[in-house]
DNA sequence: CAGAGGTTGATCCT
DNA sequence: AGGATCAACCTCTG
């Protein structure tokens, strides 16, 4: 490109100034630079029919986080002599209009591996090349280029059998299916010991943008959302400035960084979370994962000893790349059907169970408190996510992981297509992880970290006066205690009734008859284990070719087993 | 094809 | 707090 012409940098993720190759390249030698963000109504427009405040695809917490991130980007750009140009509409159409209107010769945007952008970006690139516009689309969202990893990974079908199927021809490798093999292929990132940061001191000016429908970064209200109370909204503020502040805060405690062991974190810690809470900033690219990587490396160089992947802090960033690689290299990664790495399992399609889980009324306080934190904060600890995901799918309710995935995808401020789907595959024992006998107890897991139940008391204030002896299993509290705690189970707080619609009197009677609880996690989890064993068996005999009919037959069998042992009979057997 | 290992289970035991 | 045991899956390695 001849220097002295116009460039456009298109922000999607990568909402930052630091370590932003697309921005740097766009700025180099241009007379005018147009920094653009397109507000896609499909993602941002209020949808009153959704189950929570927000658009059709995103809860209001994440929309707000995005707007804050954009406002921060705009303010940073202004300090460099530029500004953010916000436009509304279908991104492709808006972009084509801008390219024409402003006579753009160079278009720069961060490469994105998600299916949505893969499809959109092909259109954009085709348009640009037909119009003689240079396109620069660097990989800067992840540590590695997922395509490189897949290329390097020896394809099973090529190596062992020397045959070529359609997939191996197109794609010489498949993504590694375990973290360890991923680490081995990935190695050190090429840039690990080189300087990433070129400090930008000024940017080319923005050209004439009159009559182009440019606006400032809108507020939630300007987008048509109603004002809501502070305590209904996430405590985490969006933006690059906030990300770097948070990063600095974490890195300052060198001991903590060096000793970080993810599985040892306390999921019930909420006043001071046990992790960095940098995930939402990584999701939107307010924080560069590569810069984060280098910061951790710096700390590790200066301490005597440190933890290692998979549990270390660096290991967490590598998990992110692991899931990005798996997601990029697996067709239909976000579905069970047609997903070659996903076990085919006849999950329930029970919308009532799903709604009880989603709306925090399962009757298990540990589970419900986590779901309230999800709705209010849009963030909860990784292990808390494990508990509710396990409970919904393979642990207790046997509801399809795709349903839970949808709820997380909407409500999490850090929801990330690759990572969210990857973790649901993991937790439901559909892929990556297969030890389905390891089930999180909705009662004892939380108790181990928080015996007093402070986390439950905070997010489920109705239970705030329940004595700690009963707070994880309030249905076991004698009625006198429930009365004193101003929380009658079955009236003020649900009893776990997804299996047993008993009235309170029967419930009370049962409490005198059994030392075990009425709706037993024990019973539900045992049934789930049996179902998973049968489903695994089916997958084995069908050798990865389970069809709709197979699943239907097995689903019918599960239903028959359940009706053979009705609730009343089950109780009589016990008494 | 056997054996080792797998980020984060629960329970009981010391 | 840490270890053994439970029951037992899959993937990777040699």
How far are the Cα atoms of A20, A54, A285, A289 from residue A147, in angstroms, in the given order?
A: 20, 34, 20, 17
pLDDT of residue A168: 38
pLDDT of residue A371: 98
A486 CA → C3 C1’, Å: 43
pLDDT of residue A3: 59
Which pLDDT tens digit goes with each residue over A329-341? 999 999 999 999 9
pLDDT of residue A172: 55
pLDDT of residue A227: 81
Short-list A327, A343, A334, CA closest to A402: A334
Q: At residue A156, does pLDDT exceed 70? A: no
Higher-scoring residue by pLDDT: A327, A210: A327
> Annotation-wise, does A276 bind a ligand?
yes
Please give the domain boundaries of chain A with CATH numbers for all domains. 1-140 (3.40.50.620), 142-156+176-190+240-329 (1.25.40.80), 351-521 (1.10.579.10)
For residues A110-133, b (16+ Cβ closer than 10 Å) or e, as one string?
Answer: bbbbbeebeebbeebeebbeeeeb
The residue whose two tokens read 């202004």 is A78
Which pLDDT tens digit goes with each residue over A499-523? 444 344 444 444 444 333 446 898 8
Q: At residue A1, does pLDDT exceed 60? A: no
> Annotation-wise, does A271 bind a ligand?
no
Q: Give the whole-angstrom CA distance, residue A76 versus residue A309.
A: 35
A448 CA → C12 C1’, Å: 34
As ranges, strand C nucleotides with an atom below 7 A of a protein CB are 7-13
A526 CA → C7 C1’, Å: 12
Could you tell me if A57 and A42 are in contact, meaning their C-beta atoms sit under 8 angstroms apart? Answer: yes
Footprint of strand B, using CB within 7 A?
Answer: A 178-180, 262-263, 265, 310-311, 315-316, 319, 382-383, 386, 426, 433-435, 437-441, 444-445, 448
Q: At residue A289, does pLDDT exceed 50? A: yes
> Annotation-wise, does A399 bind a ligand?
no
Q: At residue A402, does pLDDT exceed 60? A: yes
Is any atom of nucleic acid chain C found less than 7 Å from the CB of residue A435? Answer: yes
Q: At residue A474, does pLDDT exceed 60? A: yes
Higher-scoring residue by pLDDT: A535, A3: A535
A189 CB-near residues (< 8 Å, 6+ apart): A143, A144, A290, A293
How far are the Cα atoms of A237, A350, A396, A442, A468 from residue A496, in angstroms, in the given order?
A: 35, 16, 12, 11, 18
How much of chain A exceeds pLDDT 70, in percent?
90
Which pLDDT tens digit goes with each residue over A191-240? 988 877 778 999 999 998 887 889 999 999 999 998 877 777 899 999 99
pTM score of the predicted model: 0.93
Q: Which phi and psi angles does A192 have, rounded to 5°?
A: -55, -35
């Amino acid at each position: 490109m001849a220097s002295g012409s116009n460039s456009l940098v298109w922000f999607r993720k990568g909402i930052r100034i630091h370590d932003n190759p697309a921005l740097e390249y766009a700025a180099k030698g241009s007379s005018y630079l147009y920094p653009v963000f397109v507000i896609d109504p499909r993602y941002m427009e209020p949808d009153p029919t959704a189950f929570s405040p927000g658009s059709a695809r995103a809860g209001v917490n994440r929309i707000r986080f995005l707007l804050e991130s954009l406002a921060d980007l705009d303010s940073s750009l202004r300090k460099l002599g530029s500004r953010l140009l916000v436009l509304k509409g279908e991104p492709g159409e808006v972009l084509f209009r801008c390219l024409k209107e402003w006579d753009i010769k160079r278009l720069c945007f961060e490469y994105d591996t998600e299916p949505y952008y893969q499809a959109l970006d092909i259109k954009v690139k085709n348009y640009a090349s037909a119009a003689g516009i240079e396109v620069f689309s660097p990989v800067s969202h992840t540590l590695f280029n997922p395509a490189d990893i897949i290329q390097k990974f020896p394809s099973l079908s090529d190596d062992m059998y020397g045959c070529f199927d359609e997939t191996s021809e197109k794609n010489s490798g498949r993504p590694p299916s375990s973290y360890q093999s991923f680490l081995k292929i990935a190695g050190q990132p090429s840039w690990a010991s080189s300087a990433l940061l070129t400090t930008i001191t000024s940017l080319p000016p923005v050209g004439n943008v009159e009559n182009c429908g440019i606006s400032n970064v809108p507020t939630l209200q300007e987008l048509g959302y109603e004002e809501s109370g502070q305590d209904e909204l996430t405590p985490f503020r969006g933006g690059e400035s906030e990300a770097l502040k948070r990063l600095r805060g974490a890195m300052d405690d060198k001991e903590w960084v060096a000793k970080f062991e993810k599985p040892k974190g306390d999921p019930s810690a909420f006043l001071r979370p046990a992790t960095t809470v940098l995930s939402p900033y990584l999701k939107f690219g307010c924080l560069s994962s590569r810069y984060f990587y280098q910061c951790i490396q710096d700390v590790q160089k200066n301490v005597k000893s440190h933890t290692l992947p998979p549990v270390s802090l660096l290991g967490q960033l590598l998990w992110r790349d692991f899931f990005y690689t798996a997601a990029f290299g697996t067709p239909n990664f976000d579905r069970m059907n047609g997903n070659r790495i996903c076990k085919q399992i006849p999950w329930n399609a029970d919308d009532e169970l799903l709604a009880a889980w989603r709306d925090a009324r399962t009757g298990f306080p540990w589970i419900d408190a986590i779901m309230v934190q999800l709705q209010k904060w849009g963030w909860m600890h990784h292990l808390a996510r494990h508990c509710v995901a396990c409970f919904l799918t393979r642990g207790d309710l046997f509801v399809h992981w795709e349903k839970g995935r949808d709820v997380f995808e909407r409500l999490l401020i850090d929801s990330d297509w690759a990572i969210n789907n990857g973790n649901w595959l993991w937790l439901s024992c559909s892929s990556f992880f297969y030890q389905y006998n390891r089930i999180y107890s909705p009662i004892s897991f939380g108790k181990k970290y928080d015996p007093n139940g402070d986390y439950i008391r905070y997010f489920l204030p109705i239970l705030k006066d329940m004595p700690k002896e009963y707070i994880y299993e309030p249905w076991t509290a004698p009625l006198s205690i429930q009365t004193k705690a101003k929380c009658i189970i079955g009236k003020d707080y649900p009893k776990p009734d997804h299996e047993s619609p008993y009235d309170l009197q029967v419930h009370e009677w049962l409490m005198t008859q059994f030392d075990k609880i009425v709706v037993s996690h024990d019973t539900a989890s045992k049934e789930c284990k049996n179902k998973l064993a049968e489903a695994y068996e089916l997958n084995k005999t069908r050798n990865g070719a389970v069809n709709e009919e197979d699943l239907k037959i097995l689903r019918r069998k599960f239903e028959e087993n359940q009706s053979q042992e009705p609730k009343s009979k089950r109780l009589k057997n016990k008494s």
